[in-house]
């Protein structure tokens, strides 16, 4: 059993993963696909004339402010991307239903109504936020999907009972929670770079492997969104997952490359 997360930022490629996944699933392997939606959300917000706002939390993580309008656009963008991936897998002979958390019991969220932020040394709070953190994953729904011969496909959304809405959740952390819920052998996070780099401008500076005991040094290398990605990796490993791989979505057979030891191998 494996979980693969494909990045949603500009610069990610989904075609190599879909080809690779279709081959592996065709051989009987069980995977769950989780995807991000940051790039499509940003373009949809721009078209709709809705501001995209990113803030940094007091603990140093960058996150998106999700007001009511941004939430609706994020949901639409995420579901349209899920639909596209599902159609492209169908073309390759793989049934991959989109598991919408508001219609199928899959992922539940805890809403972060108040978003704490720091800008220029000043702390403030943004209200009316509609992003959340994953509270639970229904592993039995994913297992039922496999039993029916299909590949579960999850958008970066989680259902919040209180508001009755799908909230925006971080795709990497969602993938980590899913991997723990289905007791996966590995979690593969594919992104628009080769893995964790010591210096983004030097391809040869790729960190090829590291363990939880070296985490502080790893965290010092990461900036921006990579910090949150490392948090997701740590949550998965501390939760008991044996292996997490950060690897490149743009190369051919990216999943096989990651499973066979490529990218940044974390344990
Ligand atoms: P995705 O949508 O694929 O999850 P993100 O934009 O969230 O992509 O995260 C990947 C980005 O993290 C890279 O494009 C890179 O700019 C940034 N990054 C920051 N520090 C590092 C680092 N040390 N190694 C690799 N990437 C890094």
Average pLDDT per block of 10 residues along the chain, 267 residues long: 96 97 97 97 96 92 95 98 98 98 96 96 96 97 97 98 97 98 98 96 96 96 94 98 98 98 98
Mutation test of ligand 1: which of 176, 192, 199, 258 has the most ligand atoms closer than 8 Å to its C-beta? 192
pLDDT at 98: 98
pLDDT at 65: 96
Of 264, 216, 261, 265, give the one whose Cα is nearest residue 243.
265
What is the residue range of 101's domain? 2-266
Report the nearest atom of ligand 1 relative to the CA of 194.
25
CATH number at residue 98: 3.40.1160.10
Which string of b and e fits 84-115 if b means at least 16 CB within 10 Å? Answer: ebbebbeeeebebbbbbbeebebbbbebbbeb
Give the number of domains in the chain: 1
pLDDT at 255: 98
CA-closest residue to ligand 1 atom 17: 226
Distance 228 CA to ligand 1 centre (A): 9
CA-closest residue to ligand 1 atom 5: 225
Report the nearest atom of ligand 1 relative to the CA of 6.
3
Query: Hey, what's the torsion of the CAs at 99, 100, 104, 106, to 10 degrees?
Result: 70
- Structure tokens of 240? 């008991």
CA-closest residue to ligand 1 atom 7: 225
Report the nearest atom of ligand 1 relative to the CA of 38.
2
pLDDT at 103: 94
pLDDT at 127: 96
Report the nearest atom of ligand 1 relative to the CA of 5.
4
């Amino acid at each position: 059993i494996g979980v693969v997360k494909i990045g949603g930022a500009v610069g990610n490629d989904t075609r190599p993963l879909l080809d690779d996944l279709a081959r592996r699933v065709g051989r009987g392997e069980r995977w769950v696909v989780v995807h991000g939606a940051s790039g499509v959300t940003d373009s949809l917000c721009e078209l709709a004339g809705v501001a995209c706002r990113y803030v940094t939390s007091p603990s140093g993580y960058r996150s998106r402010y999700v007001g009511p309008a941004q939430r609706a656009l994020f949901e639409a963008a995420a579901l349209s991307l899920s639909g596209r991936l599902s159609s492209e897998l169908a073309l390759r002979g793989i049934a991959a239903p989109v598991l919408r958390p508001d219609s199928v019991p899959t992922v539940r969220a805890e809403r972060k109504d108040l978003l704490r932020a720091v800008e220029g040394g000043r702390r403030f709070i943004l209200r009316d936020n509609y992003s959340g953190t994953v509270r639970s994953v229904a592993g039995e729904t994913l297992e039922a999907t496999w039993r029916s011969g299909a590949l579960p496909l999850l958008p970066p959304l989680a259902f919040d009972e209180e508001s009755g809405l799908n909230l925006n959740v971080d795709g990497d952390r969602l993938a980590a929670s899913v991997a723990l819920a289905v007791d996966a052998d590995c979690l593969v996070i594919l992104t628009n770079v080769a893995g964790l780099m010591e210096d983004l401008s030097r391809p040869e500076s790729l960190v090829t492997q590291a363990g939880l005991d070296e985490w502080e040094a790893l965290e010092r290398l990461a900036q921006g969104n990579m910090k949150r990605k490392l948090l997701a990796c740590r949550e998965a490993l501390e939760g008991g997952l044996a292996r997490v791989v950060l690897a490149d979505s743009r190369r051919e057979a990216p999943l096989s490359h990651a499973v066979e030891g490529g990218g940044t191998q974390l344990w």
